[in-house]
Structure 1
Amino acid sequence: MYKLIACDLDETLIDDDAHVCQRNIDAIKAATKLGVKFVPATGRGYRAIEKTLAEIGLKDKANEYVISFNGGCITENKDNRIMKFQGLDFAKADELYRLGLKCNVCIHVYTKDMVYVYNADEDEIKYLKLRHVYKIIDEPNLDFLKGQDIAKVLYGSTDMPYLEKIASEISNTTKDLDVSYSSNRYLEFNHQGVNKGEGLLWLADKLGIKPEETMALGDNFNDLSMIEAAGLGVGVANVNPKMKDDCDYITKADNNQGGVGEAIEKFVLEK
């Protein structure tokens, strides 16, 4: 039996309106009653997913956990207790920010409690409002964040080929980082070795759970590390087509139809 389920949020667990559908809620609650740990694994921070935790009945619960910032932070839900944090050093974050200023992208800079956003258009603001606690900035550098922990930096654009071009052009700068894509609009930069797969394995080990007793669900490339690390890797129906061969199972339902619930029903509840 799978004892730990690590699940991406955006475009996987939550629907396009940033809510959890009833099929997913019912399946998660049934699994947790069996003692299964349901662990959101997100690129966002803990503060930004409290609404989702409340919807699935896990907000502020002891012995329940979240993998956030793509594995950069692992917390216990009760009182948001940080168990592990590994972010970017300031110099690297500032370098990435300055490079982003030269590109036609939106930039997000994540601290533990806030997302600082540069150059966001109306579409980006609409997306942010559903998912983040954020502040709009127009700064030439990140000097205003000196002394604070910076979890990650990302570039945003709905032109994915353009983001891929940028990634190639700055590859020498990012060769010592963990680089991934998410939500079909973001190019993400984390500390080297920080990814959802490592976060999943670290937490499972802490809880005495074997890798083969874990399941991971996702839709995009920042989920690939945990899909590959887990005992069972599941893509929802709207998974990036380039990842399908890396998944052990693809659900029939997408993120709006309860794909997560479908997987839990099949592999945990055995309906």
Structure 2
Amino acid sequence: MYKLIACDLDETLLDDHAHVCQRNKDAIEAATKLGVKFVPATGRGYNAIAQTLDEINLKDKANEYVISFNGGCITENKGNRIMKFQGLSWDKANELYQLGLKYNVCIHVYTKDMLYVYHADEEELNYIKLRHAYQIIDDQDLDFLKGQEIAKVLYGNPDVPYLEKIANEISSSTKDLDVSYSSNRYLEFNHQGVNKGAGLIWLANKLGIKLEETMALGDNFNDLSMIKAAGLGVGVANVNPQMKNECDFVTNADYKEGGVGEAIEKFVLNNK
């Protein structure tokens, strides 16, 4: 019996309008009634997923949890109580920000409570506004964030090979970081050792749940660490093709069709 399900949000649980489809809602509700912990595991901040928690009836619930900032923060849903936080130093975040200014990317800088966005086009802003509280900035450095805790930095561009080129060119500055890709548009930078897999392991240990009793679902490379760490690693049908061999199971349904619900039905509710 799986006791904890860690699930990515964008392009996994949520549709293109950032909502949870009915199949997923029904499966999550049935699983939680059995005592299973359903844990959103997202690159976003914990404040940015209130709508999703509300849609799956886990908002402000005690003894329910969120893994956010790609594992950089773990919170209990009741009051958004922070249990663990590990972000970037200001120096490293500022270095990444100034490196990003040299490329054709939008830049996201995440603090605990706000997303700061540099050089975002209309398409990017339309994507962000469904998911985050944000402020647009045009600063040439992050002096305005000195003294604040910074969770992570990312670069955005829908040309993934271009992001891969950037990652290679700045590798000397990121060798001490955890680097991943998400949403087929983002190159993400977290503190070394911070990833969704490490977050899943930490939370499972905290709750006394064995890793073989966990399931993880995702679609892209920032989900790979938890897919590999979990007892059962599941990719939804739209999972990055380069990750398929790392998944124990790939659903027939994609993120628009209830792939998460399909996996829960099959492996938790035993609806074959």
Smaller-chain TM-score bracket:
over 0.9
Report 1:16-95 matches (<5 A).
16-95=16-95
Q: Partner amino acid for 1:140?
A: Q
Deviation at 1:244, TM superposition (A): 0.3
| Alignment partner, residue 160 of structure 2 | 160
Q: Is the partner of 2:269 in helix, strand or coil?
A: coil
Q: Which stretches of structure 1, 4 residues or longer, exceed 2 Å deviation after superposition?
A: none
Deviation at 1:17, TM superposition (A): 1.0
Describe the superposition over 1:166-187 as per-residue Cα deviations: whole angstroms up to 9, x where unpaired. 0000001000000000000000
| Alignment partner, residue 171 of structure 2 | 171
Q: Is the partner of 2:10 in helix, strand or coil?
A: helix
Report 1:130-169 matches (<5 A).
130-169=130-169
| Alignment partner, residue 120 of structure 1 | 120
| Alignment partner, residue 211 of structure 1 | 211
Q: Partner amino acid for 2:258?
A: G
| Alignment partner, residue 249 of structure 2 | 249
Deviation at 1:48, TM superposition (A): 0.5
Aligned-pair identity (%): 82
Q: Partner amino acid for 1:199?
A: G
Deviation at 1:263, TM superposition (A): 0.1
The 1-side partners of 2:33 and 2:252 are apart by: 25
Deviation at 1:91, TM superposition (A): 0.2
Describe the superposition over 1:198-253 as per-residue Cα deviations: whole angstroms up to 9, x where unpaired. 00000000000000000000000000000000000000000000000000000000
Q: Is the partner of 1:6 in helix, strand or coil?
A: strand
The 2-side partners of 1:47 and 1:136 are apart by: 18
Deviation at 1:115, TM superposition (A): 0.3
Which structure 1 segments of 5+ residues have no match?
none
The TM-score with structure 1 as length reference comes to: 1.00
The TM-score with structure 2 as length reference comes to: 0.99
Describe the superposition over 1:65-118 as per-residue Cα deviations: whole angstroms up to 9, x where unpaired. 000000000000000000000000000000000000011100000000100000
Deviation at 1:190, TM superposition (A): 0.0
**CA RMSD, 1 decimal:** 0.3
1:236 lines up with 2:236 in the alignment: yes
Deviation at 1:154, TM superposition (A): 0.1
